[in-house]
């Protein structure tokens, strides 16, 4: 009788412990999901706020120009080098593959299509995420922790209009321009390798390039680029604006900006490719 | 306190997560007077000012400016309200990408659309008012000492001739002489404007120089308010301990970290 009693007690205890740990697990999963939703929600609200302020006056043309230069012009070398060497390596790699099937003539097509559709936008996006996303997050984050953003508000200037809108506008506008240049430079890189190292005839290579390329290939790449530019600027601004206190907070904001924008670029690249080509 | 009330806080509460910072702050500031709030570090003095400025949204309570409720004000209303305010931040919070004069003229150029040339003139004039020469106008904030940065911050705070000016620890981190200079400037510039001021400090010399009224904040509440002349015989043990800087007394410093 007594042992029986003990047994049930014990098993009940076990059952309760199991219940508790199950509850804990559910709670952990639940709260993670909730936090994810919350973060997404906050990001969407932030984005809405930012985009609205791009279109509402007052505007700050001087700041927009400065951001266009900062984000666009100063990214030229990075994007240019990336595109050049990617185009070159594409030609080399596709050549070694295609010679096995006597399909060398496909090299030009592979270079131009890969560049315009995928590689120029994605690689430029990732490079700019590293260069611009990080600097936006660091700058705005520093302004946050040194109370400069609060100071903006007390001086009757909306930080969204003054800091965020110009960066978002500049990011969205400049990345397509960078990618267009990257397309050209990448094709040029492939061309140089094909002509000088693989022995293609210049005229043939260019005709092949031109014949296979369709407007849609370029357009889709540029639309992607615009989306990636928006992502980079937005994530930089978002993480900087919500930076926690201190140097550590700014450091974390910078890392988060680069990592999250890089991952979002890859995700949206997939989504946009799906939209355009299926 | 029969004068017109310029700024009034009633039962203002603010918590960050579990940490209750403000637990019902009540404060009344008459028109044209200088109120100084004293209290230990981390007692929520800056948070209180930021609630008034609308930079932090209080969880509860009401904040009246000229009798008008400012809590939950919409965007435009807040904008209009901000034009009445000037603020000197604890760390000066100068824009480091801009020259000194652009900092001072910032609200004029960007907030009110004043011509840059005219704004430059005003900036130089305001810089003179805080004892800085025109040459300083063309430097960057990083090239200035802490005391000079505070002066520029002060010039920026008064550039738009605000009705209410907030000073967050204006003398902290300065040597005693520079602190005295800043105190004098605060008194002079605010008297000139006829502005109402709300200051925060734990520097007693500063209190005696700039205050008309003093309030002490402790554990998220205002525990004592009175005229500055009554400070020495407040009969409040907390106030006594604070103004004499004694380690012994009712205020325990084993309290929550930062
Ligand atoms: N944005 C914030 N998020 C979380 N905690 C904050 C924030 N601002 C202030 N606090 C906390 O509120 C308390 C009071 O801060 P503060 O008002 O700056 O103190 P002080 O009286 O020294 O000015 C501190 O403990 C601080 O950590
Ligand atoms: Mg403070």
Looking at the fold, whether A14 and A115 belong to one and the same domain comes out as: no
Looking at the fold, whether A106 and A225 belong to one and the same domain comes out as: yes
Residues of A in contact with B49 (CB under 8 A): none
Residue A185 is predicted with a pLDDT of 97
Looking at the fold, whether A26 and A71 belong to one and the same domain comes out as: no
pTM for the model stands at: 0.88
| pLDDT for A5 beyond 50 | yes
Instruction: Spell out, as residue ranges, where chain B has pLDDT lower than 50.
Output: 1, 255-258
Looking at the fold, whether A7 and A95 belong to one and the same domain comes out as: no
Looking at the fold, whether A260 and A145 belong to one and the same domain comes out as: yes
Looking at the fold, whether A114 and A31 belong to one and the same domain comes out as: no
Residue B75 is predicted with a pLDDT of 83
Task: Report DSSP letters for chain B, one per residue.
Answer: --SPEEEEEEEEEEEETTEEEEEEEEEEEETT-EEEEE--TTSSHHHHHHHHHTSS--SEEEEEETTEE-TT--HHHHHHHHTTEEEE-TT----TTS-HHHHHTHIIIIIT---HHHHHHHHHHHHHHTT--GGGGGS-GGGS-HHHHHHHHHHHHHTT--SEEEEESTTTTS-HHHHHHHHHHHHHHHHHHT-EEEEEES-HHHHHHH-SEEEEEETTEEEEEEEGGGGGG---HHHHHHHHT-SSSS--S--S--
Residue A262 is predicted with a pLDDT of 97
Question: Does the distance separating the beta carbons of A155 and B107 come in below 8 Å?
Answer: yes
Cα separation, A57 vs A149, whole angstroms = 19
pLDDT digits (tens, 9 = 90+) for A203-213: 999 999 999 99
Cα separation, A89 vs A196, whole angstroms = 14
Residue B248 is predicted with a pLDDT of 81
Cα separation, B258 vs A10, whole angstroms = 46
* pLDDT confidence bin for A252, thresholds 50/70/90: very high
Say if residues B45 and B39 touch (Cβ distance below 8 Å).
yes
Looking at the fold, whether A104 and A218 belong to one and the same domain comes out as: yes
Q: Which residues in chain B (65-84) have CB-CB distances under 8 A to chain A? A: 79, 82-83
Q: Exposed, middle or buried by CB within 10 Å (0-12, 13-18, 19+), for A62?
A: exposed
Minimal C-alpha gap between B104 and chain A (Å): 10
Residue B258 is predicted with a pLDDT of 44
Say if residues B9 and B166 touch (Cβ distance below 8 Å).
no
Looking at the fold, whether A220 and A153 belong to one and the same domain comes out as: yes
The residues whose Cβ lies within 5 A of ligand 2, an ion, are B 46
The closest-lying atom of ligand 1 relative to the alpha carbon of residue B39 is 21
* pLDDT confidence bin for A6, thresholds 50/70/90: low
Q: Is the dihedral of CA A167, A70, B137, B117 positive or negative?
A: negative
Residues of chain A whose beta carbon is less than 8 angstroms from a beta carbon of chain B are: 58, 60, 143, 146-148, 150-151, 153-158, 162
B257 lines ligand 1 (CB under 6 A): no
Average pLDDT over residues A25-52: 91
Looking at the fold, whether A70 and A197 belong to one and the same domain comes out as: yes
Residue A264 is predicted with a pLDDT of 96
Look at A127 and A17; give whichever has higher pLDDT. A127
Taking CA atoms, A71 is separated from A43, A59, A170, A176, A229, in Å, by 22, 18, 7, 12, 10
Cα separation, A44 vs B133, whole angstroms = 47
Looking at the fold, whether A186 and A59 belong to one and the same domain comes out as: yes
Q: Based on the structure, what is the number of domains in chain A?
A: 2
The whole domain housing A195 covers 44-277
Question: Does the distance separating the beta carbons of B90 and A147 come in below 8 Å?
Answer: yes
Ligand 1 pocket test, pick from B15, B18, B21 with the greatest ligand atom count within 8 Å of Cβ, gives B21
Residue B131 is predicted with a pLDDT of 87
SS3 A244: coil
Lowest pLDDT segment from A75-79, A228-232, B190-194? B190-194
Minimal C-alpha gap between A58 and chain B (Å): 9
> φ and ψ at B70, to 5 degrees?
-115, -10
B45 lines ligand 1 (CB under 6 A): yes
pLDDT digits (tens, 9 = 90+) for A36-46: 899 899 999 99
β-bridge mates for residue B37, sequence order:
B200, B215
Residue B134 is predicted with a pLDDT of 92
Residues of B in contact with A153 (CB under 8 A): 53-55, 82
Q: Is the dihedral of CA A145, A146, A150, A153 positive or negative?
A: negative
pLDDT digits (tens, 9 = 90+) for A161-174: 999 999 999 999 99
Looking at the fold, whether A221 and A240 belong to one and the same domain comes out as: yes
Residue B226 is predicted with a pLDDT of 93
Looking at the fold, whether A216 and A237 belong to one and the same domain comes out as: yes
* pLDDT confidence bin for A278, thresholds 50/70/90: confident
Residue B2 is predicted with a pLDDT of 55
């Amino acid at each position: 009788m007594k042992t029986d009693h003990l047994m049930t007690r014990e098993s009940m205890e076990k059952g309760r412990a199991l219940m508790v740990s199950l509850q804990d697990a559910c709670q952990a999963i639940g709260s993670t999901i909730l936090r994810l939703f919350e973060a997404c929600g906050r990001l969407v609200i932030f984005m809405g706020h930012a985009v609205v302020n791009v279109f509402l006056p007052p505007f700050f043309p001087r700041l927009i120009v400065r951001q266009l230069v900062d984000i666009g012009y100063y990214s030229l070398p990075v994007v240019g080098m990336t595109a050049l060497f990617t185009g070159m390596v594409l030609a080399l790699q596709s050549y070694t593959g295609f010679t096995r099937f006597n399909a060398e003539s496909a090299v030009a097509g592979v270079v131009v299509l890969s560049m315009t559709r995928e590689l120029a936008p994605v690689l430029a996006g990732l490079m700019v995420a590293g260069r611009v996303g990080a600097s936006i997050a660091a700058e705005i984050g520093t302004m946050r922790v040194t109370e400069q953003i609060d100071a903006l508000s007390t001086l009757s200037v909306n930080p969204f209009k003054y800091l965020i809108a110009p960066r978002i506008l500049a990011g969205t506008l400049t990345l397509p321009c960078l990618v267009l240049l990257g397309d050209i430079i990448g094709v040029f890189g492939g061309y140089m390798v094909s002509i000088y190292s693989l022995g293609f005839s210049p005229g043939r290579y260019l005709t092949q390039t031109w014949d296979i390329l369709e407007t849609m290939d370029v357009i889709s790449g540029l639309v992607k680029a615009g989306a990636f530019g928006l992502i980079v600027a937005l994530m930089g601004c978002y993480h900087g604006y919500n930076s926690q206190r201190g140097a550590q907070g700014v450091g974390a904001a910078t890392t988060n900006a680069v990592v999250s924008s890089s991952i979002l670029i890859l995700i949206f690249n997939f989504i946009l490719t799906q939209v355009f080509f299926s | 306190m029969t004068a017109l009330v310029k700024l009034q806080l009633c039962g203002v509460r603010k918590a960050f997560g579990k940490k209750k910072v403000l637990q019902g702050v009540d404060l009344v500031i008459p028109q044209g007077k200088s109120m100084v709030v004293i209290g230990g570090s981390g007692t929520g003095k800056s948070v209180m000012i930021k609630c008034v400025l609308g930079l932090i949204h209080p969880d509860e309570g009401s904040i009246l400016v000229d009798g008008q409720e400012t809590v939950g004000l919409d965007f435009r209303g807040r904008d209009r309200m901000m034009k009445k305010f000037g603020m000197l931040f604890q760390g000066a919070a100068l824009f480091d990408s801009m020259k000194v004069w652009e900092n001072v003229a910032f609200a004029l150029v960007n907030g009110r659309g004043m011509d840059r040339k005219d704004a430059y003139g005003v900036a130089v004039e305001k810089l003179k008012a805080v004892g800085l020469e025109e040459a300083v106008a063309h430097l960057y904030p990083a090239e200035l000492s802490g005391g000079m940065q505070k002066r520029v911050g002060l010039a920026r705070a008064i550039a738009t001739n605000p009705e209410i000016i907030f000073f967050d620890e204006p003398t902290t981190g300065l040597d005693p002489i520079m602190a005295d200079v800043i105190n004098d400037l605060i008194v002079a510039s605010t008297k000139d404007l006829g502005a109402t001021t709300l200051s925060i400090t734990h520097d007693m010399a500063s209190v005696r120089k700039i205050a008309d009224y003093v309030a002490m904040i402790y554990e998220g509440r205002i525990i004592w308010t009175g005229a500055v002349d009554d400070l020495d015989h407040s009969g409040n043990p907390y106030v006594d301990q604070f103004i004499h800087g004694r380690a012994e007394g009712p205020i325990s410093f084993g309290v929550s970290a930062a």
